[in-house]
């Protein structure tokens, strides 16, 4: 459903600050996939998301969505099919507006006209949806979102994102800013929505345990490359320990390669 | 005297509503206002002078202001210039455009033409004092505009505009082009400002290309005075506070003009007073937030 072909992203090309953030990435995401991505800081995980979402275009290579080339399509157009949650809970909601206003804006993607859609019926619908969160938010429809806690805001963002049933959702460490209890709750909700609505999902995480536990495929990224790609049965057998070993193994070989290059 | 303050406050409150939209809802400090206010005045004046109906003049002024606001938004969107600079560019260009519209003159009198005010007078003649008739007319007029704005900000489009000012990323994530929203928002805002300019010119009896100098500052002062009185997240209360802020601002200016002579103040000092007033309001609002935060902790 999404296909990246030989995608490269180079920031500040031709300057001393040149940064080759994504190197020759080829990736195919199939419908119904739940992919987790791990990797150290600066590995290019968020850059990869920005390229898929269309925040910026790749330096070279192409991106296809449902077999049509979307490489140069702006972010807001791609957003009609792609939902995205950021690490920062405040990026997903308008804090000085009420819960119901926020939900209204998110319930349907694309340009909005002069219709007044927020009425009794939609309020009932929002209340029913908010019940799924089990956070007592259904009684706070007219409260400003800034009054909610980080965990509540992130859960609300998740709920609002699935309201429009996007084809692909990108989760960029969406539980990293939350305390362990709330993080677990948001992750549970994520799993629930993903399986309930059959959403194709890509999730970046720093938690190797989560990376193994969730999803049917896992990617490990380092220095702009996908260095390890595992799925299905093989993924289920992984443990945090042999994942770390695997990481060192791959890095070591790479290191040796560098050495041979330098000695030449 | 009191009717004068109220009428002037109401006329300028339409401009204040426009400033409120850009500064508070869109979070887009738009300086086009200093040019679109006199733009509305000169368009309205020219239409009246050429003998066409007053209502057409007001409509033309609104449209002209809308186009000016749209131009600022396009400059900001397409050339990626900061919003302040985009507004200054349009404002400066409008100064020349306004003189052109007036036929290479800097001002025209409207004392012998049919205006909104003469229209009110001819209708109310014999029924009541003309000052009261003018006041009633403008109360109804501003009320309708305020209601329409409240309604607009309850529509899906209006909600999206509000969210954009708060969190542009959210709007992009919802598949809406923020560039188009900025054009719509700025056009609406400057349309209101120009409409206010046209009414002000007819009330004052002349249109002058320099009548917009410092308008943005007085508009902002009015918005802040209003916010000082009401705090709410309901759009109907916010627009009402903008209107009331405008009336209070005009009242303060009136007394500064009348009693300022006691301290050797002239009308030329009013802009200084306005600026100082904003600074004082800023300090006050800062300390207020400071206090509230302290109370919470």
Residue of A nearest to B181 (CA): A111
Mean pLDDT of A197-204: 93
Domain count for chain B, please give it. Answer: 1
Distance spanning both ends of chain B, measured CA to CA: 48
Q: Which pLDDT score, from 0 to 100, does residue B98 have? A: 95
Q: Please tell me which residue of chain A has the smallest CA distance to B25.
A: A96
Cβ neighbors of B135 (< 8 A, separation 6 or more) are B3, B6, B7, B10
Task: List, in order, residues 6 or more apart from B242 with CB less than 8 Å away.
Answer: B13, B16, B17, B20, B222, B223, B226
Please report the pLDDT score of residue A262 as a whole number. Answer: 47
Q: Which residues of B touch A93 (CB under 8 A)?
A: 167, 170
User: Considering the domain boundaries, does residue B60 fall inside one?
Assistant: yes
Nearest CA in chain A to B235: A97
Q: What is the pLDDT of residue A178?
A: 87
Please report, to the nearest 10 degrees, the dihedral formed by the alpha carbons of residues B289, B240, B41, B87 taken in order. Answer: 30
The three-state (H, E, C) secondary structure of chain B, written as one string: CHHHHHHHHHHHHHHHHHHHHHHHHCCCCCCCHHHHHHHHHHHHHHHHHCCCCHHHHHHHHHHHHHHHHHHHHHHHHHHCCCHHHHHHHHHHHHHHHHHHHCCCCCEEECCCCCCHHHHHHHHHCCCCCHHHHHHHHHHHHHHHHHHHHHHHCCCHHHHHHHHHHHCHHHHHHCCCCHHHHHHHHHHHHHHHHHHHHHHHHHHHCEEECCCCCCHHHHHHHHHHHHHHHCCCCCHHHHHHHHHHHHHHHHHHHHHHHHHHHHHCCCHHHHHHHHHHHHHHHHHHHHHHHHHHHHHHC
pLDDT grade for A261, boundaries at 50, 70 and 90: very low
What chain A holds in terms of domains, given with CATH numbers, is 2-96+148-235 (3.40.50.300)
pLDDT number for residue B87? 95
Residue A257 has pLDDT above 70, yes or no: no
What gap in Å lies between CA A103 and CA A13, rounded to an integer? 41
Asked whether the predicted pLDDT for residue A7 surpasses 50, the reply is yes
Q: What is the mean pLDDT of chain A?
A: 87
Which pLDDT score, from 0 to 100, does residue A199 have? Answer: 92
pLDDT at A260: 45
A49 sits in which H/E element: helix A45-53
The predicted pLDDT at position B297 comes to 29
Candidate from B154, B167, B177 with C-beta closest to A116: B154
Residue B174 in any domain: the answer is yes
Closest-CA residue of B relative to A106 is B174
The answer to whether residue B241 sits within a structural domain is no
* pLDDT at residue A1, as a whole number: 84
What pLDDT was estimated at residue B289?
59
For residue B169, the chain A residues in CB contact (below 8 A) are 86, 91
3-state secondary structure of A204: strand
pLDDT at A259 > cutoff 80: no
How confident is the model over A181-200, as a mean pLDDT?
Answer: 91
pLDDT of B296: 35
Check: CB of residue B103 under 8 Å from CB of residue B209. Answer: no
Does residue B20 form part of some domain? yes
Q: Is residue B232 part of a domain?
A: no
Confidence of residue A256 (pLDDT cuts 50, 70, 90): low
Choose between A253 and B283: higher pLDDT.
B283
| pLDDT computed for residue A263 by the predictor | 42
Judged by CB atoms closer than 8 Å, whether chains meet at B170 and A94 is answered as yes
- Identify whether B224 is part of a domain: no
Asked whether residue B151 is assigned to any structural domain, the reply reads yes
Query: How many Å separate Cα B182 from the centre of its chain?
Result: 18
Q: What is the pLDDT of residue A192?
A: 92
CA-to-CA separations, A204 to A57, A81, A197, in angstroms, rounded: 20, 19, 20
Contacts of A92 in chain B (CB under 8 A): 170, 173
- Closest-CA distance, A97 to chain B, in angstroms, reads 7
Provide the pLDDT for residue B11: 96
Asked if B167 and A83 come within 8 Å (Cβ–Cβ), the reply is no
pLDDT tops 70 at residue A254 = no
pLDDT at A154 (0 to 100): 92
For position A89, what pLDDT does the model report? 86
Average pLDDT score over residue span A225-229: 88
Digit-coded pLDDT (tens) for B4-44 = 899 999 999 999 999 999 999 999 999 999 999 999 999 99
- Per the domain annotation, does B266 fall within a domain? no
Beta strand pairing call for A82-85 and A168-172? parallel
Q: Is the dihedral of CA A174, A111, B74, A72 positive or negative?
A: positive
pLDDT, tens digit, for every residue of A118-159?
889 999 999 999 998 888 899 999 899 999 998 899 999 999
- From first to last of the 297 residues of chain B, give the pLDDT tens digit: 788 899 999 999 999 999 999 999 999 999 999 999 999 999 999 999 999 999 999 999 999 999 999 999 999 999 999 999 999 999 999 999 999 999 999 989 998 888 888 888 888 888 888 889 999 999 999 999 999 999 999 999 999 999 999 999 999 999 999 999 999 999 999 999 999 999 999 999 999 999 999 899 999 999 999 988 888 878 999 999 999 999 999 999 888 888 888 888 888 888 888 889 889 888 887 776 555 544 332
- How far, in whole angstroms, is CA B200 from its chain's centroid? 11
What domain range includes position B76?
2-211
Share of chain A above pLDDT 90, in %: 46
């Amino acid at each position: 459903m999404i296909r990246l072909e030989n995608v490269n992203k180079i920031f500040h090309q031709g300057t001393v600050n040149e940064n080759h953030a994504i190197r020759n990435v080829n990736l195919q995401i199939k419908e119904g996939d739940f992919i987790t991505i791990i990797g150290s800081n600066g590995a290019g995980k968020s850059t990869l998301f920005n390229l898929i979402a269309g925040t910026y275009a790749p330096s070279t290579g192409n991106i296809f969505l449902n077999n049509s080339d979307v490489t140069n399509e702006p972010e807001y157009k791609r957003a009609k099919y792609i939902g995205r949650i950021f690490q920062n809970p405040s990026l997903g909601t308008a804090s000085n507006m009420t819960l119901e206003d926020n939900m209204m804006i998110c319930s349907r993607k694309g340009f909005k006209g002069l219709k007044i859609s927020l009425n009794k019926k939609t309020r009932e619908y929002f209340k029913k949806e908010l019940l799924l969160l089990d956070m007592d938010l259904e009684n706070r429809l007219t409260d400003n979102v800034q009054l909610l806690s980080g965990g509540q805001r992130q859960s609300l963002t998740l709920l609002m994102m699935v309201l429009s049933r996007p084809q692909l959702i990108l989760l960029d460490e969406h539980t990293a800013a939350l305390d362990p209890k709330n993080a677990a709750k948001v992750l549970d909700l994520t799993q629930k929505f993903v399986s309930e609505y059959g959403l194709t999902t890509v999730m970046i995480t720093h938690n190797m345990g989560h990376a193994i536990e969730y999803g049917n495929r896992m990617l490990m990224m380092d220095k702009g490359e996908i260095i390890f790609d595992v799925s299905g049965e093989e993924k289920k057998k992984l443990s945090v320990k042999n994942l770390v070993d695997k990481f060192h193994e791959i890095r070591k070989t790479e290191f040796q390669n560098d050495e041979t290059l330098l000695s030449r | 005297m009191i009717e004068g303050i109220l009428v002037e406050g109401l006329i300028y409150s339409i401009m204040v509503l426009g400033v409120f939209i850009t500064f508070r809802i869109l979070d887009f400090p738009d300086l086009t206002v200093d040019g679109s206010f006199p733009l509305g005045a000169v368009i309205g004046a020219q239409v009246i002078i050429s003998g066409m109906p007053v209502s057409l003049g007001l409509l033309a002024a609104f449209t002209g202001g809308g186009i000016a606001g749209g131009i600022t938004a396009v400059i900001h969107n397409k050339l990626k210039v900061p919003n302040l600079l985009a507004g200054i560019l349009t404002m400066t260009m409008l100064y020349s455009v306004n003189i052109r519209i007036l036929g290479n003159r800097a001002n025209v009198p409207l004392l012998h033409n049919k205006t909104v005010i003469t229209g009110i007078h001819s209708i109310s003649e014999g029924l009541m004092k003309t000052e009261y008739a003018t006041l009633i007319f403008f109360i109804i007029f501003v009320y309708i505009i305020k209601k329409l704005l409240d309604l607009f900000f309850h529509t899906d489009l209006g909600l999206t505009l509000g969210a954009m000012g708060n969190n542009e990323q959210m709007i992009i994530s919802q598949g809406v082009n923020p560039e188009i929203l900025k054009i719509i928002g700025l056009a609406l805002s400057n349309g209101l400002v120009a409409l206010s300019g046209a009414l002000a010119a007819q009330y004052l009896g002349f249109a002058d290309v320099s009548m917009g100098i410092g308008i943005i500052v007085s508009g902002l002062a009015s918005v802040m005075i209003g916010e000082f009185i009401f705090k709410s997240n309901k759009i109907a209360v916010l627009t009402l506070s903008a209107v009331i802020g405008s009336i209070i601002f005009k009242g303060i200016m009136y007394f500064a003009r009348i009693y300022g002579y006691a301290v050797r103040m002239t009308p030329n000092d009013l802009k200084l007073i306005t600026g100082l007033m904003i600074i004082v309001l800023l300090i006050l609002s800062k300390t207020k937030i400071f206090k509230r935060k302290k109370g919470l902790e």
